[in-house]
Chain A
Amino acid sequence: MFHEKQILILKSMNNFRDLHWPLAFTWLALAIIGLVAIYSATQGPVSEFLPSYIQNNFLKQLLWVAISIVLVIGVQFTSPRNYMQLSYLFYGMGLILMVLTLFIGTEINGAKSWIRIGPGRIQSSEIMKIATILATANYLTSRRDITAENIRYALIATFMILVPTTLVILQNDFGTAIVFLSLIPVMLFWSGLPYGVSLFIISPAIILYLSVFDWVYGVIASVVLSAVIFIIQKRAWLTVTSLVSGIITVVGVNLALTSILKPHQIARIKAFTNPEFDPTGAGWNVIQAKTAIGSGGLFGKGFLQGTQTQLRFLPEQWTDFVSCVIGEEFGFVGLSVLVFLFLFLFVQLLRMARNHNHPFAQLVTVSVASVLFIHFFINLGSATGILPVIGIPLPFVSYGGSAFLANSLMLAICLNMDFYKRDFSIYR
Chain B
Amino acid sequence: MKSLNPNRTRTSILALQVIMVGICMVVLGRAFFLQIVEYEIYEELGERNSIRQEYVDAARGLIFDRNGKLIVDNQPIYSITITPSSFQEENIPLLASLLQVSDSLVISRVKEAQKYSWYRTSKLLTDVDFSTFSLIQENIWRLPGVGHQIDSKRNYPLEMKASHILGYLREANERDYRNNDQLRLGDKIGKSGLELIYEDSLRGELGTNYLKVNALGQSLGNFTELREPEAPIQGDNILTTIDADLQLFSEKLMEGKTGAIVAMNPNTGAILALVSSPEYDVSRLAGRIDTKYWQEINSDTTKPLFNRAISSRQPPGSTFKPVMGIAGMHLGIVTPSTEIYNSGQYIRGRAYKDLADPGNYNMESAIAFSSNTYFFSLMDKIAMSGNLNNWSKLVKDFGLGVPNTIDLPSANPGIIPDSSYLDRHFGKRKWGLGDLINLGIGQGIISASPLQVAQMTSSIVNGGYKIEPYLVEAIEEANGRVVLKTPVREKISWVNDTYLETVKRGMRQVVLEGSGRFYANIPDISVAGKTGTAQNPHGYDHGWFTSFAPYENPEIVVTVFLENAGFASISAAPVASLVIEKYIKKEIERNYVYNYVLNFVPREANSDSEINE
Contacts and interface: CB of A to CB of B under 8 A. Distances in A.
A339 B24 contact: yes
B16 A295 contact: no
Contacts of B486: none
Contact of A343 (B8, B24, B36): B24
B16 A366 contact: yes
B42 to A, nearest CB: 3
30 contacts: A141-B1, A145-B2, A192-B2, A192-B8, A290-B34, A291-B45, A291-B49, A293-B42, A294-B42, A296-B35, A298-B35, A307-B47, A311-B50, A311-B213, A311-B220, A331-B35, A332-B31, A332-B35, A332-B36, A336-B31, A347-B21, A350-B20, A351-B13, A359-B3, A360-B1, A366-B13, A369-B16, A370-B16, A381-B27, A385-B34
Residue picked from B13, B27, B49, B216, most chain A C-beta under 10 Å: B27
Interface in B196-216: 212-216
Interface string A336-358: 10011011001100110110000
Contacts of A308: 46, 49-50
A262 interface: no
A244 B304 CA distance: 91
Interface in B1-51: 1-4, 8-10, 12-13, 15-17, 20-21, 23-24, 26-28, 30-32, 34-36, 38-39, 41-43, 45-47, 49-50
Interface residues of B, number: 42
A49 B1 contact: no
Contacts of A49: 214, 216, 218
Given A311-B50, A353-B13, A381-B27, A347 B215 contact: no
Contacts of B46: 291-292, 294-295, 307-308
Contacts of B4: 192, 359, 362
A353 B34 CA distance: 35
Given A144-B2, A145-B2, A295-B39, A311 B214 contact: yes
Contact of A307 (B2, B32, B36, B50): B50
Contact of A312 (B2, B8, B24, B216): B216
A287 B215 CA distance: 13
Contact of B34 (A144, A189, A294, A381): A294
Contact of B1 (A292, A354, A426): A426
Given A189-B12, A294-B34, A332-B31, 9 more contacts: A143-B2, A192-B2, A195-B15, A311-B212, A336-B28, A336-B31, A362-B9, A377-B27, A385-B34
Contacts of A381: 27
A354 B10 contact: yes
A380 B215 contact: no
A137 to B, nearest CB: 12
A215 interface: no
Contacts of B9: 354, 362
Interface string A282-320: 000001101111111110000000011001110000000
**Which 6 A/B pairs are nearest by Cβ-Cβ distance?**
A294-B42, A295-B46, A311-B214, A294-B34, A307-B50, A332-B35
B18 to A, nearest CB: 10
A297 B28 CA distance: 13
Nearest to B213: A311
A350 B16 contact: yes
A277 B9 CA distance: 46
A370 B50 CA distance: 39
Given A335-B28, A384-B30, A350 B38 contact: no
A335 B36 CA distance: 12
Contacts of A359: 1-4
Contacts of A362: 4, 9
A327 B1 CA distance: 46
B27 A373 contact: no
A91 interface: no
Contacts of B13: 350-351, 353-354, 366
Interface string A125-155: 0000000000000000111110000000000
B24 to A, nearest CB: 5
Contacts of A353: 13
Contacts of A331: 35
B3 A327 contact: no
A9 interface: no
A372 to B, nearest CB: 10
B374 to A, nearest CB: 87
A327 B213 CA distance: 21
A426 B31 CA distance: 44
Nearest to B41: A294
Nearest to B38: A294
A396 interface: no
A58 interface: no
A144 B49 CA distance: 61
A190 interface: yes
Which range contains the number of A residues in contact with the other chain? 35 or more
Nearest to A352: B13
A21 to B, nearest CB: 21
A386 B30 contact: yes
Contact of B35 (A142, A327, A377): A327
Contacts of A295: 39, 42-43, 45-47
B61 to A, nearest CB: 38
Nearest to A314: B215
Residue picked from A290, A292, A296, A311, most chain B C-beta under 10 Å: A311
B1 to A, nearest CB: 6
Given A307-B49, A426-B3, A339 B39 contact: no
Given A291-B42, A313-B50, A342 B214 contact: no
Interface in B472-529: none
Contacts of A189: 12
Contacts of B1: 141-142, 359-360, 426
Given A190-B12, A354-B13, A290 B212 contact: no
A322 to B, nearest CB: 14
A312 B20 contact: no
A298 B39 CA distance: 9
A18 B36 CA distance: 42
B39 A384 contact: no
Interface in B454-476: none
B39 A297 contact: yes
Contacts of B10: 354
Contacts of B38: 294
B34 A384 contact: yes
B27 A380 contact: yes
A312 B45 contact: no
A296 B31 CA distance: 10
Nearest to A373: B20
A71 B258 CA distance: 99
Nearest to A363: B4
Contacts of A298: 35-36, 39
Contacts of B39: 294-295, 297-298
A142 B220 CA distance: 63
Contacts of A313: 49-50, 214-215
B97 to A, nearest CB: 30
B11 to A, nearest CB: 8
A345 B216 CA distance: 39
A332 B28 CA distance: 8
Interface string A195-231: 1000000000000000000000000000000000000
A332 B49 contact: no
B99 to A, nearest CB: 29
B536 to A, nearest CB: 70
Nearest to B11: A195
Contact of B30 (A143, A340, A385): A385
B215 A293 contact: no
A343 B20 contact: yes
Contacts of B213: 311
Contacts of B30: 384-386
Contacts of A141: 1-2
B36 A342 contact: no
Nearest to B15: A195
